[in-house]
Structures are given as C-alpha cells and as structure tokens.
Amino acid sequence: MCHPKIPQTMKLPPLKKLNYAMAIQWIIFLPVILPLCLVFGALQGIVNMVGTMAQRMILDIES
C-alpha cells in the first residue's frame, strides 16, 4: 500500500518571525495587568453580591 504524496499547494506556510517588541511588551505589562484584572473582577463581584443581597433584604422586609 502506497500513501499518496501531499500536493505542493497543501504545504503549511512558514511560521512568521517572532515580534520581539510585542513579546517584551507582554512580559513587562502582564504582571501589571493581570493583578489589576483580578482585583477589579473581585471588587465587581463583591459589589454585585451586595446589591443582590440588599434587594433581597428589601423584598423580605416589605413582604
């Protein structure tokens, strides 16, 4: 059994060169951006939960 050859048109394109400037930017800013995102996401979750609890407490008091 012989496997058919892959046509020349189906070869993968060569990989692009690594953009070193963008890689350096990611290395520098990721330690800054990631904790900020975590903190603001946690704060947003806390604010939403307090709002939901306040609405439920008001509904419970009114009924």
Return the pLDDT at 51.
97
Return the pLDDT at 18.
74
9-24 residue pLDDT tens: 556 666 677 788 888 9
Return the pLDDT at 4.
62
What is the distance between the alpha carbons of residues 35 and 50, in angstroms, rounded to a whole number?
A: 22
Confidence of residue 52 (pLDDT cuts 50, 70, 90): very high
Mean pLDDT of the 40-61 span:
96
Burial class of residue 58 (count of CB atoms within 10 Å of its CB; 0-12, 13-18, 19+): exposed
What is the distance between the alpha carbons of residues 42 and 49, in angstroms, rounded to a whole number?
A: 11
